[in-house]
Homo-oligomer: A and B are copies of this chain.
């Protein structure tokens, strides 16, 4: 903390000069003194406001240069009441799905002169709340949240106090707010229907934990497609849980070796798809499973290089998700009123081979 820094260390001189909280950075007052003008004149120059003669401006600029002055936005913010920053709480910036989403938000923010503060919740509701509230304490103008938890009432006072808030990728819990989602239900239904259209009747679904909204929706889409086709869903064909590779691997193997082995798999998100591909296409894929025929696969979320691996996917547009949410946020910040808006973005099925593998003969 600040108190661990001894005065003698702080600025290289051990004099009795009172330590200023901001080190000893020059302030507008210092610039004014040096330029022999009033404080407000410096402010005018720094902010490019009119009403300063060219000569005065030059003298002020010189003083700014000489002193190495840079405006302290903390003070400006306090006075103006706007931070020109927005917050984004997401699951994990290292996930290839959220990186592009965040970047899209950043671009919109930049177009509006705002900076973006990211925070990773690591899928932990407590951490989500902690982060969101920390951002509110810093008085971000707006907040975009990819929920980890299911109760966002903690944000009610903030929203009421004027923090524009948009939820993305998953809906808010127990409060009504602007929301931008991908069509998880429709996408999963289409992906499953695609497999059915290619002759499959025993199809498995491996998804994330069911309390995650997108996971639940995708499961619902899968079931809907099966029902549409009049197909039963075997007891061991559905597996929801953490997306850790070990669990997914075991889940996929179990589906392939049960009494009614599946001939195709719908993977519930990018991480699951990756592991599924490893299991299904790995060197020892068929070993120990008794399979001899390749298993069809449709993954939710697109992947880099998926085209080269021939993986059929139901793709969502992470960038569009971020852009749409950010645009809605700034619309609110620009004064747009009205009821909370709910946008659903379509998904796109991209056939690349793995989803078009037919079932083994004699399975229909």
Contact = CB atoms under 8 A, between A and B. Distances in A.
Interface of A: 2, 4-5, 9, 20-25, 68, 70-75, 77-83, 85, 92-96, 98-100, 102-104, 106, 115-120, 133-139, 157-158, 160-162, 274, 277-278, 281-282, 303-309, 319, 334-335
A23 B80 CA distance: 11
Contact of A335 (B5, B102, B106): B5
Q: How many copies does the complex hold?
A: 2
A115 B127 CA distance: 13
21 contacts: A4-B335, A21-B79, A21-B80, A21-B82, A23-B81, A25-B161, A72-B137, A72-B139, A74-B78, A74-B139, A94-B99, A94-B103, A96-B304, A98-B99, A106-B118, A115-B134, A116-B117, A274-B304, A303-B304, A305-B309, A308-B309
Contacts of A162: 23, 25
Nearest to A26: B161
Contacts of A306: 305
Nearest to A92: B103
A273 to B, nearest CB: 10
A79 B20 CA distance: 10
Q: A103, A116, A307, A334 — which one has the most chain B CB atoms within 10 A of its CB?
A: A103
Nearest 7 pairs of A and B residues by beta carbon: A21-B81, A68-B157, A99-B99, A94-B103, A94-B100, A23-B162, A93-B103
A293 to B, nearest CB: 20
A74 B77 contact: yes
A348 to B, nearest CB: 19
A279 B116 CA distance: 37
Nearest to A156: B68
Nearest to A6: B335
A335 to B, nearest CB: 6
Contacts of A117: 85, 115-118
A134 to B, nearest CB: 7
B106 A119 contact: yes
Given A2-B81, A115-B134, A68 B161 contact: yes
Q: A24, A106, A282 — which one has the most chain B CB atoms within 10 A of its CB?
A: A106
Contacts of A160: 68
Contacts of A23: 81, 161-162
A120 B137 contact: no
Nearest to A311: B305
